[in-house]
A = this chain, B = another copy of it.
Amino acid sequence: MQPSNSLREQIIAQYDAMSAQLQQAARYVLEHPEEVALVSMREVARLAGVQPATMTRLAKYLGLPGYDELRAQHAAALRQGGDGFAAKVRQRVDEGSERGASDTASHMLQGLSAQLAKLCEPDSLRRLEATADRLRSARKVYVLGLRSSHAVAWHFHYVMTLLGERSVHLDGPGGTGGDALIRATPEDVMLVISIKPYATGTMELAQLAKEQGVGIVSITDSEVSPLVALSEQAVFCPTESDSFFHTLTPALAVSEVLCSLLAEFDRPKTLEALQQADEHLLQLNTYSEAIPRRQ
């Protein structure tokens, strides 16, 4: 499904030498070849977040006479790919039979995909919404997730930090993670993430918080999780995988959805917060587009 492979490779090869805007355009073209073939240049430009003129410039930069040629090549590739569907599936089957590791990987990914799809069931959605609502009403959100759930907790907190200032991550060096709860009030909510086996530390802190009147909501793996008894709201996510360990991918997805729901609730404020974050990070030179020069 690539436009005339050589063109695609050419874009990749010349990418590093392009200007920022050109790179942004090129990246979109690489990642959405179908759109290039199917919609107008102006629309592609809009989707890519660049000026229409930039798309023309990209085409010229690649040595093509104009944007029309760029689209023509993508269209040709799409025409081909459409019919070659059966061939592709066959290729996949062949390779699968050759190698075992691919099977493992593919099987696992398909399983995860199915698990996420399953989270769309009405009951899950209802729980997601209710949890988001509860978080929304909080003055502060304390985020707690130890051991395997640390990744999810941290990521939720990270995104919430970009979105505003209400999130407090209950973790830290030297075992001081719980100290932030010192000034917790009933106006606050704690998001607890834990899957089986449930970390003792998580349970203890959660219960302590509850005794302080803090509302508890949780992301956990079962209706019989000990967290359920503590929580006002809970979202359940599958953790089974055919590997040796439990998967956290659905839990992370759930946390991202929660972030999204919270962000969506007050779009103007979200946008403002993101812009602030952008400026801050820009001043700190946090991000770079290329490999930085060192000496």
- Which of B39, B106, B241, B259 is in CB contact (< 8 Å) with A120? B106
Q: Mark A122-146, 1 if CB is under 8 A from B, else 0.
A: 1001101100100000000000000
Bound Cα distance A290, B26 (Å): 52
Q: Are B158 and A147 in contact (CB under 8 A)?
A: yes
- Name the contact of A1 in the complex, choosing from B83, B222, B223 (C-beta under 8 A): B83
Q: Which of B1, B95, B152, B288 contacts A198 (CB under 8 A)?
A: B288
Q: Interface range on chain A: under 10, 10 to 19, 20 to 34, or 35 or more?
A: 35 or more
Select A79's contact among B38, B85, B116, B260, beta carbons within 8 Å: B38
Q: List 19 A-B contacts (CB under 8 A).
A: A12-B223, A31-B240, A78-B78, A81-B84, A104-B257, A113-B113, A113-B120, A116-B249, A150-B154, A155-B248, A173-B173, A197-B289, A199-B286, A207-B294, A226-B289, A244-B260, A245-B263, A248-B252, A249-B252
Number of copies: 2
* Partner-B contacts on A (CB < 8 A): 1, 11-12, 15-16, 23, 26-27, 30-31, 34, 37-39, 75, 78-79, 81-85, 87-89, 91-92, 95-96, 99, 101-106, 108-110, 112-114, 116-117, 119-122, 125-126, 128-129, 132, 147-148, 150-152, 154-155, 158-159, 162-163, 173, 197-201, 203-204, 207-208, 222-224, 226, 229-230, 240-245, 247-249, 252-253, 256-257, 259-261, 263-264, 270-271, 274, 285-292, 294
